[in-house]
A and B are shown apart, each in its own frame.
Chain A
């Protein structure tokens, strides 16, 4: 069964961790907004022993900062071929794509999504992505979609209750 064992969640950045809007000011500053609950979802996964990686087609200092703040060790930016980036990551960590979940929002993510054991799309992903994803979250990208995916993975692996112990006793 696909997605029975998930050892990594691989995330796209724009449209998944953010709401897809890119802000550039006239003096070259870039602004990206992330959701705090998504960040906590990533932390929950990491505490449960599930690794998190970001593979994005763009290059952004803001994503670099966010990854650093969340202690996400594996960040690939400027990945024009996400499937190749995923395979490279898979080789580096010694975990096959079938043991990874991939969350993406656009057609460029489809080849990588098809390789993984579980594919997830935010609610506002491109139609083709939503149609092909194993799971479509009820939340939009940048608005809690990653948190929802994280909780869903934890539940599927039977780790959710343990992850919540520190909050609800």
Chain B
């Protein structure tokens, strides 16, 4: 009886002991990672003058980002300064500052940004969020879209299919070519 009881206590002690060791190991790992792990505010490293290529092996599509500097957070979110982004379908974006979350394929542009599409349209925006997975981008600030067929201004806009379709909202004004209206 006593032997059984003693064995139970020893077993309980071992289980608790292992529990403490596991806890200590976890604490060590957290400490080693340092404060601010997982935060984009804690830069892991900065590089000046970078060219970043993002490719998909099973398709010809690619994205090239040129930036005067890139600061990568520990969560792999990269803050780009003075960037130019070119997609293989001819789409180009240029701006002063952007955050690119490569895991989520989410580009968040802060401040002025110019979008040029392969078919000759140009949009000047102030701030843009582009979800490259869903191919949808949006801005909630005034924008100007210019092309050979005219100029359109609006309070906000949404872009679909990598900027191939545009939905403008708010105070929308269009100054279109008479040639276009005849058709």
Q: Among residues 33 to 54 in chain B, which have CB atoms less than 8 Å away from a CB atom of chain A? A: 47, 49-54
Taken together as a complex, chains A and B put the C-alpha atoms of A62 and B102 apart, in Å, by 15
Return chain B residues, CB-CB under 8 Å to A143: 47
Return chain B residues, CB-CB under 8 Å to A19: 47
Q: Among residues 48 to 88 in chain B, which have CB atoms less than 8 Å away from a CB atom of chain A? A: 49-58, 62, 64, 66, 70, 76
Beta-carbon contact of A23 and B76 below 8 Å: yes
Least CB distance from A124 to B in Å reads 12
Q: Among residues 5 to 50 in chain A, which have CB atoms less than 8 Å away from a CB atom of chain B? A: 19, 23, 25-37, 39
Beta-carbon contact of A36 and B51 below 8 Å: yes
A61 at the interface (CB under 8 A from B): yes
Beta-carbon contact of A29 and B50 below 8 Å: no
Majority DSSP secondary structure for residues of A touching B: mixed
Q: How many residues of A contact B (CB 8 A)?
A: 24
Taken together as a complex, chains A and B put the C-alpha atoms of A25 and B57 apart, in Å, by 12
Return chain A residues, CB-CB under 8 Å to B105: 25, 27, 29
Return chain B residues, CB-CB under 8 Å to A142: 47
Contact pick for A62, options B50, B53, B70, CB 8 Å? B53
Max chain B Cβ within 10 angstroms of own Cβ: one of A26, A35, A36, A37 = A36
